[in-house]
Amino acid sequence: MRLVVDLNRCQGYAQCAFLAPDVFALHGHEALRYTPYADDSRREQVARAVAACPVGAILLDDLADDVAGDGAGDPADGLPAAGPGVG
């Protein structure tokens, strides 16, 4: 699954980092670092992190239509209407 974080919207509340520390981390006091392609085994953690973002800065793309199965997806595809989470 692919993650996109609107870093202009992110306010550094770090709820995502508490709920999915293998995917999200704060660098310094407010700079968020994240793994843009998370493994499906972390789906529940990531979904909770997306839902917990108080400013809705995190988008999740399940890459459901990735026919090749390589997890890379097609960069030309837009993000599905999965809805923003709370970040």
Q: For residue 47, what pLDDT is reported?
A: 94
- Kindly report, residue by residue over 13-51, the tens digit of the pLDDT: 999 999 999 999 998 877 899 999 999 999 999 999 999
For 23, list phi and psi in degrees, rounded to 5: -110, -40
Residue 68 has pLDDT above 90, yes or no: no
Q: Which of 62, 67, 56 is nearest to 81 (CA)?
A: 62
Number of helical H runs and strand E runs in the chain:
2, 4
The whole-number average pLDDT for the span 47-66 is 86
